Amino acid sequence: MLLSETCRFKLEPNEEQRLILEELVRSYQEIVKECLDIALKLGITSRKRMHENIYRRLRTKYSNHPSHYIYTAITQALGIFKSYRRLLRKRNDIKPPEAKNVKSILLDDTHLFWFYWGKLRLATHKGHIEVPFEVHEYAEKFKDWEVKGSRLVRLGGEYYLHVTFRKTVKENTPEGLLGIDVNERSIDLAIVKPDKVKFIKIDISEAKYIRDRYFKKRRSIQSKTSGKTKERLLSKYSKREKRRVDVILHKASNMIAKIVDEEKVIPVMERLKDIRKRIKYGRRMNRRLHNMPFRKIQTYISYKSMEYGFEREFVKAKNTSKKCPICGGLSKPNGHVFKCKKCDFKADRHLVAAWNIANKLQMCRPLPLAAKALYEPLIIEVRGKG
């Protein structure tokens, strides 16, 4: 399995280097602009045609720049042009893209940058420069990964290096499955192994409270302010909300990945489009659930489990919350409780769903103790602070 992840480093250029970077970003923007103009004018999407049309001229014009900047600028311009065309097919009120919005330089080539821990060596129009940066704690884990590509990003007058790292992970042999049911207030887990069934409820209700609180806050900003102030406040609060919710989601998915590692189980989740379909509440409910970061949670869980050598599986969501895991009969859950009409089995509906999700991959009969385990789930609360 191939893992890849991007990490950001803040560059600390001296004054002279800062000027060089400024010039570099500016001329790179101009190069991208020329490529983009040609792409828009002639409708070019092929790298070969673009190269034929523009390379020689740009090479002469920017003769003091390493030629690979022209290659990566072409890549970037083609990328922008293609996504513009894709959007245009869906809507016709899209403005043509502008190169002045390009704030990053693609360094997708070993000819342009050399990454060292704490130092970036960069080919520029003024020769090679070595810009130091601080290696934060989080980045330590990438020390045995391979450097794949990179971008130089200018943001608020500062320069950042976005580095994509890659690592091959050996696949582990699974001993069972982990059914995962994601809800607004909890992530419910069913560990299903040949000799063991165990249930865990991870309480993420704080994420829900945060989202509710910020929703109210945003609504009050909407009605009480206007113009630039409104824009600024809305963006500030939505960033803060995202950050706070993210802390909880990361903690929860870390816990789940640890369980995956300890129990040696394959994480099994419902397909995202099925989850959305299943959720058919009133409009108010819909608004909230629609914003539920299901995709994020699933991505985090998948990603972190991969680091331990277990690749996630997706299953269809059909009947996961209606089927009785004991007798197979179908009953509608009522509130948070599932009660089987056929055999009277009764339990927490989310734990039942988690169990059903795991069972979708493997036809295994319920173990004698499984129902009992369902009544004694381990409950873990995830909080943003602490």
Binding site for Zn ion (CB under 5 A): 324, 326-327, 329, 340, 342-343, 345
The CB-of-333 to Zn ion minimum distance in angstroms stands at 12
The CB-of-318 to Zn ion minimum distance in angstroms stands at 17
How many angstroms separate the Cα of 381 from the Cα of each of 202, 265, 345?
A: 6, 22, 27
User: Are 180 and 269 spatial neighbours (Cβ–Cβ below 8 Å)?
Assistant: yes
235 Cβ contact partners less than 8 Å away, ≥ 6 residues apart: none
Distance CA 301, CA 298 (A): 5
The CB-of-186 to Zn ion minimum distance in angstroms stands at 23
CB nearer Zn ion, residue 279 or residue 371: 371
The CB-of-366 to Zn ion minimum distance in angstroms stands at 10
CB nearer Zn ion, residue 244 or residue 339: 339
CB nearer Zn ion, residue 300 or residue 345: 345
How many angstroms separate the Cα of 186 from the Cα of each of 150, 245, 351?
A: 37, 13, 10
The CB-of-367 to Zn ion minimum distance in angstroms stands at 15
CB nearer Zn ion, residue 279 or residue 327: 327
Residue of 158, 127, 112 lying closest to 13 (CA atoms): 158
CB nearer Zn ion, residue 43 or residue 328: 328
Q: Are strands 158-168 and 2-10 parallel, antiparallel or unpaired?
A: antiparallel
3-state secondary structure of 189: strand
CB nearer Zn ion, residue 248 or residue 340: 340
Task: Transcribe 100-146 into DSSP letters.
Answer: GG--EEE--STTTEEEETTEEEEEEBTEEEEEEB---GGGGGGGGSE
The CB-of-325 to Zn ion minimum distance in angstroms stands at 8
Distance CA 27, CA 11 (A): 20
Q: Are strands 119-124 and 113-116 parallel, antiparallel or unpaired?
A: antiparallel
| Rounded (to 5) percent helix, strand, coil in the chain | 45, 25, 30
The CB-of-335 to Zn ion minimum distance in angstroms stands at 18
CB nearer Zn ion, residue 269 or residue 358: 358
Distance CA 138, CA 177 (A): 30
CB nearer Zn ion, residue 3 or residue 343: 343
The CB-of-379 to Zn ion minimum distance in angstroms stands at 24
Distance CA 91, CA 88 (A): 5
At residue 88's C-alpha, the angle toward residues 87 and 90, to 5°, is 70
